[in-house]
């Protein structure tokens, strides 16, 4: 039976399948097909067909998708109704009154998730201690419910101030709505994320309500297509926290899918840590539309508690700290008003795609530039024929106004794209107190191998690792995931004088909630493990640091251990700590893991490692490739013909079924027992081009 991971991206849909019963090379199946933006389910099923996988032979499907993210960014969802406490109607639009660009007088804030005419208020208020200040106005609440019913709105968010302490008023409001609209789908902020600071809680709850119909419809159609094909396997959805959940759970918690696709890449990085023991990795993924970067330390992706979808739109569910920018193979090159060459963030996507695809694209892209430079196979690894002449003509449209040759302009396009990607690496490393020079650059994505050397060199990283599943990495990572749920509750108390019995009871209650979620996703009690975390801060600070808390009963002897852990985490995150400052607990979190079957190292080595015999050359052809304006006739290697520990001196090209890997001049590459390609870059190469592209 097959454990299948499928990741639907903006340009390609990737599949990686692991046969739990087969042996040798038949253990692994991969496919990469163009996404179908108008009907993503079709692309999903096409990937199964391309990999020749009978749906009846699938044991589990794990699916990563950006359906929710795209719907939010493009505002393509049935607009929900929002009900807030009187006086807080405009919280999600006002935000924190900060500016994304301090000195830009023309800055425009993103449009709110819900337009003002669909935002309602009712009279009620709880104090910060949970006591009733003003009871819910039931008559006013009923009038609001009737107004919403008259508009035909079925997805509703309820966001009352201070409900993070006690959700009884929100629950009361929900009951009133259901009397008027029995089939309404309602999100309560006290159940979505009961945490302090209303903006994040209001936004996250609104997102849940907005995505109810989007995710519900998509998953329902996907489940039907799988059932009609004869597939009876359970469907899991990749979560933003690096775990997965049943599709039925995803319909109820859609806000946990915001970084669903890229999270698979982080899971692949964690899997590689278990294989190779690399403690510090920067995981990158270059697709057709976007570039994602994240850090994996000792096998764990870094978690953020406030991810911003857009400026002033914080999502406060625990998520992997993945930074995405609009840079990929489909990123469009253009000239700005100042006469400078720019690349992205707009992308040609899958339709029409780069000019060289011959599907109607007219604007030059990064893929077109790589083809012109000879770095890209003209058949895209046998998928279809690329039109190099069309790519040349497209690049001329920006090269000629700049007074550049086509080759110089193409190199400029690639260099600018690489610099943009390097900026995202600095966001997840330097911005969080990590030195990128201490990391191994792990390159994922179909376009990852083309740009790995340029991005790594710009970021100051000299070791590159490209796995044997490059191009379908997020799908691969999905097959290695555990079920994971994070549950939280507000618990503000200074550590000095904290009630340890209540603290223990609160953690125990969260563990019970987490166990119920895991059980609903089919996890048995013996396969469950739990981690405790307290979000803590020095008293007077505004934001918290996640601090590990030991299992079992918490007593006075445990508190110094927790405080010491907080100081350690604070210093790692910010570079400073002070043991004399008093500390406070703000929020409690329990993370539950549900263990699943995973590939074993020796099986992976047999299926994906090099197996070519001595005497068989890996060189399949020679090709003209440009580096720094100079033409080199380089050897093109077929990765399937590599021998273990074979070394390659650049310049060279390594062709992979799902990617093209560039080894620049003065760089060296070798392959390990797992089929992973290690590239070491000479620090002196790829120096910035001094020519001003203007």
| Residue 162 pLDDT exceeds 80 | yes
pLDDT at residue number 684: 44
Instruction: Give the confidence band of 686 by pLDDT, cuts at 50, 70, 90.
Output: very low
Question: Among 7, 559, 533, 489, which residue's Cα sits nearest to residue 261?
Answer: 7
Place of tokens 């904290």: 498
Lowest mean pLDDT across 364-368, 551-555, 602-606 = 602-606
pLDDT above 90 for 163? yes
pLDDT for the residue 134:
97
Examine the pLDDT at 291 and tell me if it is beyond 90: no
Contact 101, 90 (CB under 8 A): no
Cα separation of the two ends of the chain: 57
For position 111, what pLDDT does the model report? 92
> Rounded to an integer, what distance in angstroms lies between the CA atom of residue 210 and that of residue 68?
9
- How many whole angstroms separate alpha carbon 584 and alpha carbon 576? 17
Q: How confident is the model at residue 245 (pLDDT cuts 50, 70, 90)?
A: very high
Q: How far is CA 442 from CA 362, 434, 470, in A?
A: 32, 16, 10
Q: What's the rounded Cα separation, in Å, for the pair 218 and 618?
A: 44
pLDDT tens figures, 32-86: 888 888 899 999 999 999 999 999 999 999 999 988 988 898 899 999 999 999 9
Per-residue pLDDT tens over the stretch 51-64: 999 999 999 999 99
Neighbouring CB atoms inside 10 A of 409's CB total 25
- Quickly tell me which residue has 């985490």 as its tokens: 569
Whether residue 354 is predicted with pLDDT greater than 90 in this model: the reply is yes
pLDDT tens-place string over residues 492-540: 999 999 999 999 999 999 999 999 999 999 999 999 999 999 999 999 9
Q: What is the pLDDT of residues 120-145, one digit of tens each?
A: 999 999 999 999 999 999 999 999 99
**Selected residue with higher pLDDT from 403 and 575:** 403
Helices (H), 260-328: 260-276
With a cut of 70, say whether residue 601 has pLDDT above it.
no
**Computed over its alpha carbons, how large is the radius of gyration of the chain?**
26
In 3-state terms, what secondary structure has residue 523? coil
Residues of the chain with pLDDT > 90: what percent? 64
Q: Are 679 and 448 in contact (CB under 8 A)?
A: no
Q: How far is CA 313 from the centre of its chain?
A: 17
Average pLDDT over residues 275-304: 87
Most confident of 305-309, 349-353, 689-693: 305-309
Res 692 pLDDT > 50: no
* pTM score: 0.87
Q: What is the mean pLDDT of residues 263-281?
A: 88
Instruction: Quick: pLDDT tens for 624-648.
Output: 999 998 999 999 998 888 888 888 9
212-226, 275-289, 453-467, 606-620, range with the lowest pLDDT = 606-620
* C-alpha distance from residue 236 to each of 5, 271, 337, 484 (Å): 9, 19, 47, 11
Question: Per-residue confidence at 352, pLDDT binned at 50, 70, 90?
Answer: confident
Contacts 24+ apart (CB under 8 A), 37-41: 37/10, 37/349, 37/350, 37/351, 40/8, 40/13, 40/65, 40/67, 40/218, 41/218, 41/221, 41/222, 41/225
Q: Using 50, 70 and 90 to split pLDDT, how confident is the model at 21?
A: confident
Q: What value does the mean pLDDT take over residues 653-679?
A: 88
DSSP three-state, residue 107: coil
The confidence score (pLDDT) of residue 571 equals: 92
Query: So what's the pLDDT on residue 24?
Result: 57
Q: With 70 as the cut, is the pLDDT of residue 219 above it?
A: yes
For the chain, the helix, strand and coil percentages under 3-state DSSP, each to the nearest 5: 35, 25, 40
* Percent residues over pLDDT 70 in the chain: 95
User: pLDDT class for 602, splitting at 50, 70, 90?
Assistant: low
CA diameter of the chain: 85
| β-bridge pairing 583-594 and 528-538 | antiparallel
Other CB atoms within a 10 A radius of the CB of residue 107 amount to 11
pLDDT mean across residues, the chain: 90
pLDDT at 615: 65
Whether the bond into 345 is cis, omega within 30 of 0 = yes
- Which domains does the chain possess? 76-210 (3.40.1360), 331-420 (no CATH), 487-594 (3.30.1490), 612-681 (no CATH)
182-199 pLDDT, tens per residue? 999 999 999 999 999 999
Q: Is 493 helix (H, G, I), strand (E, B) or coil?
A: strand
Residue 543 has pLDDT above 50, yes or no: yes
pLDDT at 23: 62
Residue 685, pLDDT score: 42
More confident of the two residues 689 and 147: 147
pLDDT at 694: 34
pLDDT value at residue 689: 42
So what's the pLDDT on residue 6?
Answer: 96
Nearest C-alpha neighbor of 37 from the set 218, 262, 216: 218
Cis peptide bond upstream of 352, omega within 30: yes
Per-residue buried b or exposed e for 536-571, using 16+ beta carbons within 10 Å of the residue's own CB? bbbeeeeebbbbebeeeebeeebbeebbebbbebbe
The pLDDT of residue 284: 92
The DSSP-derived string for 208-250 is HHHHHHHHHHHHHHHHHHHHHTT--SPEEEE-TTS-EEEHHHH
User: Band of the pLDDT at 693, cuts 50, 70, 90?
Assistant: very low
φ, ψ dihedrals at 274, nearest 5°: -65, -30
| Backbone φ and ψ of 597, nearest 5° | -70, 140
Residue 690 has pLDDT above 60, yes or no: no
Q: What is the pLDDT of residue 29?
A: 87
């Amino acid at each position: 039976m097959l454990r299948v991971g499928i990741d639907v991206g903006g340009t390609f849909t990737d599949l990686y399948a692991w046969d739990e019963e087969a042996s040798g090379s038949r253990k692994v199946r991969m496919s990469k097909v163009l996404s179908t933006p108008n009907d993503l389910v079709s692309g999903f099923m096409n990937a199964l067909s391309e990999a020749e996988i009978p749906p009846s032979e699938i044991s589990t499907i794990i699916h990563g998708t950006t359906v929710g993210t795209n719907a939010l960014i493009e505002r393509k969802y049935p607009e929900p109704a929002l009900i807030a406490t009187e006086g807080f109607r405009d919280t999600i639009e006002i935000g924190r009154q900060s500016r994304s660009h301090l000195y830009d007088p023309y800055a425009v804030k993103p449009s709110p998730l819900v337009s003002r005419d669909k935002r309602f208020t009712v009279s009620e208020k709880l104090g910060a201690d949970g006591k009733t200040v003003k009871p819910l106005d039931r008559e006013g609440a009923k009038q609001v419910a009737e107004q919403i019913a008259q508009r035909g709105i079925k997805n509703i968010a309820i966001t009352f101030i201070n409900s993070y302490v006690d959700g009884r008023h929100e629950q009361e409001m929900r009951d009133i709505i259901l009397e008027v609209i029995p089939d309404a789908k309602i999100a309560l902020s006290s159940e979505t994320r009961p945490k302090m600071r209303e903006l994040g809680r209001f936004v996250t709850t609104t997102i849940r309500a907005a995505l109810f119909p989007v995710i519900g419809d998509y998953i329902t159609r996907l489940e039907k297509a799988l059932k009609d094909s004869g597939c009876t396997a359970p469907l899991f959805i990749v979560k933003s926290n690096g775990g997965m959940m049943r599709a039925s759970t995803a319909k109820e918690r859609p806000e946990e899918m915001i970084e669903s696709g890229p999270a698979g890449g982080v899971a692949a990085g964690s899997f590689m840590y278990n294989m190779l023991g690399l403690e510090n990795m920067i995981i990158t993924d270059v697709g057709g539309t976007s570039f994602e970067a994240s850090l994996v330390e000792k096998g764990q992706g870094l978690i953020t508690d406030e991810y911003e979808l857009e400026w002033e739109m914080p999502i406060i569910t625990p998520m992997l700290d993945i930074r995405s920018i609009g840079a990929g193979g489909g990123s469009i090159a253009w000239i700005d008003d100042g006469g400078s060459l720019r690349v992205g963030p707009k992308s040609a996507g899958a339709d029409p795609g780069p000019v060289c695809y011959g599907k109607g694209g007219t604007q030059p892209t990064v893929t077109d530039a790589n083809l012109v430079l000879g770095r890209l196979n003209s058949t895209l690894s046998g998928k279809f024929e690329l039109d190099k002449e069309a790519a040349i003509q497209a690049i001329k449209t920006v090269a000629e106004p700049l007074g550049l040759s086509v080759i110089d302009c193409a190199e400029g396009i690639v260099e600018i794209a690489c610099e943009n990607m390097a900026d995202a690496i600095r966001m997840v490393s330097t911005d969080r107190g990590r030195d990128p020079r201490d990391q191994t650059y792990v390159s994922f994505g179909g376009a990852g191998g083309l740009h790995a050397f340029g991005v790594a060199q710009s970021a100051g990283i000299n070791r590159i690792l490209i796995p044997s599943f490059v191009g379908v990495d997020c799908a691969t990572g999905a097959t290695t995931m555990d079920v994971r749920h994070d549950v939280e509750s507000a618990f503000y108390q200074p550590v000095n004088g904290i009630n340890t019995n209540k603290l223990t009871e609160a953690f125990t209650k969260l563990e019970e909630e987490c166990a119920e979620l895991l059980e609903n996703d089919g996890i048995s009690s013996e396969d469950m493990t739990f981690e405790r975390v307290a979000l803590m801060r020095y008293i007077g600070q505004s934001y918290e640091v996640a601090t590990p808390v030991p299992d079992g009963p918490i007593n006075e002897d445990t508190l110094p251990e927790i405080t010491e852990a907080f100081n350690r985490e604070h210093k790692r995150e910010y570079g400073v700590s002070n043991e004399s400052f008093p500390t406070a607990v703000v929020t409690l979190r329990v993370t539950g893991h549900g263990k699943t079957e995973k590939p074993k190292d020796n099986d992976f080595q047999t299926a994906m490692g090099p197996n070519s015999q001595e005497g068989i050359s890996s060189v399949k052809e020679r090709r003209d490739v440009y580096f720094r304006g100079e033409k080199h006739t380089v050897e093109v290697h077929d990765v399937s013909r590599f021998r273990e520990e074979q070394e390659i001196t650049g310049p060279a090209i390594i062709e992979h079924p799902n990617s093209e890997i560039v080894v620049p001049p003065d760089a060296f590459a070798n392959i390990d027992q797992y089929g992973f390609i290690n590239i070491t870059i000479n620090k002196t190469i790829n120096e910035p081009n001094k020519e001003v592209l203007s």
